[in-house]
Chain A
Amino acid sequence: MNLLRELLENLRQFVATIGATTLFLGRVLGQVPQALLRPGLIIDQIHNAGALSLVIIMTCGLFVGAVLGLQGYDLLQRFGSEDALGTAAALALVKELGPVVTALLFAGRAGTALASEIGLMRATDQLTAMEMMAVDPIRRVVAPRFLGGVIAMPLLTVIFIAVGIFGVQVVGVQMFGVDSASFWSQMRASVGVDDVTEGIVKGCVFGFACSLVAVYEGYTAIPTAEGVGRATTRTVVTSAVLTLILDYMLTALML
């Protein structure tokens, strides 16, 4: 009986959180027009979320591409279709691995930074102080960070994919000796603009979701050191799960 009550309680909390997040999103979006009047703030946040994540994104992109090259070559070799390495790897990167892995890395690096920054401001009364000075902290602190994340994510995704393909090429052509011409030509023949579009759309949607989760968790964090820590953890977990669920939905939709 207790277990059931606990489950119901968890369910109720879950539904309440969804509602709270949606309302929060409404508030944030409502402040976006005003926040756009301070481009300096937004540029700072794009730098925070995007430029500072470049190193990790590019490194991981390179290695993911390289692994794809290794595995892909090994697999295709059994069918005698090594030439299709370019196609297979490019499609995997563009449509799935690029957006999803970028989103997960983004959640880990930029998402936690966002959540902990805002959470810390909450814990040290900075947000309350702003409200006392009649400045809406959503407009001044949250909206620019949200926009920064939303703008940075698709860009990071594209960079990840590009570097990844380079990684595939290094392994496939340089290491295994797949013919460079057929590598690229097969890729060109099979990958269409709609595939790239699919990847970018996913990047945008994931960026939206992960940024929202990060700023929400930071803003609603319990104002203690422990609370901020937990908010940061929840950001990563929720972002990851949400990304994968959205990935399924988007893939099914766009197929």
Chain B
Amino acid sequence: MAPTQPEIPGTPATDNLVEIRDVHYSVGNRPIFSGLTLSIPRGRITAVMGPSGTGKTTLLRLMTGQIRPDRGQILFDGLDVATLSRKELYELRLRMGMLFQNGALLTDTDVFENVAFPLREHTDLPDNLIRNIVLTKLQAVGLRGAAELMPSELSGGMARRVALARAMATDPEILIYDEPFTGLDPISMGMIVRLVRQMNYALGITSIVVSHDVEELSILADTSYIIAGGKVAAAGTFVELKDHNSEIVNQFMHGLADGPVAFHYPAPDYYEQLLTDKE
């Protein structure tokens, strides 16, 4: 089940599209990241994993400029995201496609209009050209026949595929998937996995998948990062991570119930609490 890594001619394998350097970010008193450093190589699928609550979604928001780090740099293709003006940020976001956890389709328009949305907002393309593009994207995700449906009529898996088509509509350089496998049945999951891989290699783009679905990611990812305790706990290929010597990485990769992330929530001594209740 080792991931296949086709050589993409002309793409230097070491070129990083996104670089995160020593980023610190806190919400109030709670530090989320303290010295996070990672790189997203161009043209590859990179997985970002970690236990719940380690701030994976926060990382995405930092990457896309929705929030600014307290310290450190986030570089997208050489540009420091935190220093961009709103206009420049919007221009940058046109180069990114993002797939949200629950699809985040606009509920008041149908599937076709949802996919066409970025095209209508940002381009002056004539209607027939937009129609062709939308149908092509929908065909790629297998939902061309569902163009007339409303988002409320779609299943979870279908909604996510439509969201993927929408993210692809402007042919971005990078696709960011926020927990794409959560809550899907095995068939839908298989579809998404296939799509993620196809999109990445057929179109020569970069993909970041944030998830904690170790099974699925083991098929997909070229490189993986595990974030724990506000830093990168481990990095490398899947095989390397499975045999990692760090305890937390081990607990995560093998799904162990107890370890550095404790089973018991902190509580006073068990016997004492039981005994004092028997008044």
Contacts of A121 in B (CB 8 A): 106-107
Checking B100, B105, B121 against A135 with a beta-carbon cut-off of 8 angstroms, the contacting residue is B121
Smallest CB separation, A154 vs chain B (Å)? 26
Query: In this assembly, does A21 line the interface, its C-beta being within 8 Å of a C-beta of chain B?
Result: no
**With A132-B96, A135-B121, A140-B121 as contacts: A124 and B91 at CB distance below 8 Å:** no
Verify if B102 is at the interface (C-beta below 8 Å from A): yes
Determine if B198 is an interface residue (Cβ-Cβ < 8 Å).
no
| A129 at the binding interface (Cβ < 8 Å) | yes
B98 within 8 A of A: yes
Report whether over half of chain A's contact residues are helix, strand or loop; otherwise say mixed: helix
| Known contacts A132-B96, A133-B118; A126 and B104 CB within 8 A of each other | yes
Chain A proximity mask over B88-106: 1 for CB below 8 Å, otherwise 0:
0011011010101110111
User: Taking the complex as formed, is A131 at the interface, i.e. its CB lies under 8 A from any CB of chain B?
Assistant: yes
Interchain nearest-CB distance for B153 vs A (Å): 16
Contact A133–B66 (Cβ < 8 Å):
no
Complexed CA–CA distance, A121 and B170 (Å): 22
Interface residues of A in 115-137 (CB under 8 A from B): 120-121, 124-126, 128-136
C-alpha gap A132/B65 in the complex (Å) = 9
Residues of A within 8 Å of B90, CB to CB, are 134, 136
- Chain B residues near A135: list those with CB within 8 A: 117-118, 121-122
Q: CA separation between A128 and B98, bound complex, in Å?
A: 10
From A120, A129, A136, A140, B100 is in contact (CB under 8 Å) with A129
> Is B224 close to A, CB under 8 A?
no
Let me know if B64 is at the binding interface, CB within 8 A: yes
B106 A126 Cβ-Cβ under 8 A: yes
Q: Which residues from A are CB-within-8-Å of B102? A: 124-125
User: Inside 8 A of A120's CB, which chain B residues have their CB?
Assistant: 107
Complex Cα gap A129–B117 (Å): 11
How far, in Å, is B172 (CB) from chain A's closest CB?
A: 10
Tell me the bound Cα distance from A125 to B91 in angstroms: 20
Question: Which residue on chain B has the smallest CB distance to residue A129?
Answer: B104
Residues of chain A within 8 A of B121, CB atoms compared: 133-135, 140
Interface residues of B (CB under 8 A from A): 64, 66, 90-91, 93-94, 96, 98, 100-102, 104-107, 117-118, 121-122, 166, 170
27 pairs from A and B in contact (CB 8 Å cutoff): A121-B106, A121-B107, A124-B102, A124-B107, A125-B100, A125-B101, A125-B102, A125-B104, A128-B104, A129-B100, A129-B104, A129-B105, A130-B106, A132-B64, A132-B98, A133-B94, A133-B117, A133-B122, A133-B166, A134-B90, A134-B94, A134-B118, A134-B121, A135-B117, A135-B118, A135-B121, A140-B121
Residues of A within 8 A of B (CB): 120-121, 124-126, 128-136, 140
Given contacts A126-B104, A131-B93, 18 further A-B contacts (CB under 8 A): A125-B100, A125-B101, A126-B105, A126-B107, A128-B66, A128-B104, A129-B106, A132-B96, A133-B94, A133-B121, A133-B122, A133-B170, A134-B93, A134-B118, A134-B121, A134-B122, A135-B122, A136-B90
